[in-house]
Amino acid sequence: MTDLAESAVADDPEAMASCQIPDRYRAAVVLAADQGVFAGIPSNERDLHQTLHVTEVPTPEPQPGEVLIAVMASSINYNTVWTAMFEPVSTFRFLNAFARTHTSAARHDQPYHVAGSDAAGVVLRVGPGVTRWRPGDEIVTHCLHVDLADHAGHDDALRDPDQRIWGYETNFGGLAELALVQATQLMPKPAHLTWEEAASLNLTLSTAYRQLVSAHGAAMKQGDRVLIWGACGGLGGYATQLVLNGGGIPICVVSSEEKAALCRRRGAELIINREGFEFWDPHGNPRRGNWSRFRDTVRDLAGGDPEIVFEHPGRETFGVSVLCAARGGTVVTCASTSGYEHVYDNRHLWMHVKRIIGSHSANYAEAWRANDLVIRGRIQPILSRVYPLDRVADAACAVRANAHLGKVGVLCLAPKEGLGIRDERTRERHLDQITLFQWNS
């Protein structure tokens, strides 16, 4: 029987499938014992190297409906930054609450939490009742963990009261050599991408898809102007592509000329550098003049107000987003990176019949549609830089510091970048766009 690590080096999924499963595996974890280390330290001064460790943990056994996967590569999502900061709450609270729901969930409550909500890899073992997948399959993961035991989620899984984000609200996540997922989380890996490219898509892409394209989100139409904050970040980098694909007009907001150039190379024409727009004074009071100046800048650039505003920075921008949206327009939000207590002038909302939509992750149908766009070569990865698993804390720190472009990858079992490509022809056709964000990593 071959060794899993050796089979991974050979990039041989069939051999990986027949390997003996190791009893322990390397994983990026936070520890319950560390929960107090940041007491009294402001968020922006918390050093994630103190809390995001790489260590060995025991291999979990797949239960009915579950799959154990070999993770070739993963990527950093902002939820791993929150996890390592123990903000806004410690994820051990989620794991503890999950463990109390059912005896089969009890094993999620451990003194360690394996983080990570994206992965590309190979099916190793399937639990009882899994029929759709078999060992050796090359897969990517969707982060939605849900049983659909409650009828509330049958039309849209995000309404299920037991819906969780894998690797954030559950244990055994993707920043590791092995990971445990529900079989329903698996989707086929796009054959023309490397492992690390494939692992850099799903959480943020599917979230942006639901926000913009889905009927559960803003249901964008051809010709819609869409204001996109952070257009070179994880969510915004995919949002820009979705808007261009759908015949919309992206208005990309970024914070540097380097990022503006990237947006142009992707095909966006309307770009605003947010440097010079301070929306709040040092005492936390709104600078209304700058809110209006930003609205006017958008209006002049786009020849009108945006029908959709793609929101996630939260407190710093939310009031401006509500102001900027067109009459009858939509602000669709999935996050509050800069603070979750938002301030906006409600007159702009009600008198101009705007609406705010809350959005979170994506249901299975949305995730599969988004993944299909990747497989068809209509959405390209935005991977800029890749770290080995041992340097996962450096990777998370780069994202926390906003010192990254697009997505930051992490190699887990893959020994180097560039493995996993099975369809060279499709890759060749889209190579310029696939590697666009790598131009300056």
Residue nearest to ligand NDP (CB): 233
Closer residue to ligand NDP, CB minimum distance, 60 or 153: 153
Cα angle for residues 345, 347, 351 (degrees, 5° grid): 150
Q: Residue 178 corresponds to which tokens in the numbers above?
A: 């092995």
79 binds ligand NDP (CB under 6 A): yes
Closer residue to ligand NDP, CB minimum distance, 87 or 424: 87
Do 409 and 179 meet the contact criterion of CB atoms below 8 Å apart?
Answer: no
User: What is residue 411's DSSP assignment?
Assistant: E
Judged by DSSP in three states, 402 sits in coil
Judged by DSSP in three states, 257 sits in helix
402 binds ligand NDP (CB under 6 A): yes
Shortest reach from residue 75's CB to ligand NDP, in Å: 10
In the list 38, 78, 168, 318, the residue contacting ligand NDP (rule: CB under 6 A) is 78
Instruction: Tally Cβ neighbours within 10 Å of residue 410.
Output: 30
Can you list the alpha helix ranges (DSSP code H) found in 201-328?
202-212, 234-245, 257-266, 288-302, 315-324
In the list 232, 308, 331, 410, the residue contacting ligand NDP (rule: CB under 6 A) is 232
Instruction: Tally Cβ neighbours within 10 Å of residue 221.
Output: 11
306 binds ligand NDP (CB under 6 A): no
In the list 90, 200, 321, 361, the residue contacting ligand NDP (rule: CB under 6 A) is 361
16 binds ligand NDP (CB under 6 A): no
Q: How many residues bind ligand NDP (CB under 6 A)?
A: 30
Site string for ligand NDP, 270-299 (x = CB under 6 A): ----x-------------------------
83 sits in which H/E element? helix 78-85
Cα angle for residues 310, 315, 321 (degrees, 5° grid): 35
56 sits in which H/E element? strand 53-58
Binding segment for ligand NDP (CB under 6 A), chosen from 1-9, 332-340, 384-392, 431-439, is 332-340
240 binds ligand NDP (CB under 6 A): no
Contacts with ligand NDP, residue ranges (CB under 6 A) = 77-79, 203-204, 207, 229-230, 232-236, 253-255, 259, 274, 312-313, 316-317, 334-335, 337-338, 360-361, 399, 402
